[in-house]
Amino acid sequence: EAQVTQNPRYLITVTGKKLTVTCSQNMNHEYMSWYRQDPGLGLRQIYYSMNVEVTDKGDVPEGYKVSRKEKRNFPLILESPSPNQTSLYFCASSQIPPEGGNEQFFGPGTRLTVL
């Protein structure tokens, strides 16, 4: 089954404790991205990757890092989480970037709480 998986699905952590949210897709997609969703603000893009070893900032990249060492994986790293990073996070992938006119597949989401 074609899918995007994220782990963990739920995470409660404390300020300053480094964490990684994994994202993996099995569709051989070139393009992957991370979004966060907050009440009243919709989904905002954090980082995106056009291909292996190619990443770029989205609209709200501060406090986050990403890496793309393999095509299928695109982990989101919070080096020193803070309470304002409490949010619902989504990973997405597509064969080409949205500008090319194709469907993005979204993962199930990771609900992160930073105390």
Structure tokens, 101: 């006119």
Residue 11 interacting with another protein (CB under 8 A) = no
Candidates 47, 64, 74, 90; binder of another protein (CB under 8 A) is 90
Residue 62 interacting with another protein (CB under 8 A) = no
Residue with tokens 């994220």: 6
Q: Please provide residue 98's backbone torsions phi and psi, each rounded to the nearest 5 degrees.
A: -55, -30
Residue 38 interacting with another protein (CB under 8 A) = no
Helix or strand (DSSP H, E) at 32 = strand 31-38
Instruction: Return residues touching another protein (CB under 8 A).
Output: 4, 35, 37, 40-45, 59, 88, 90, 92, 98-99, 101-109, 111
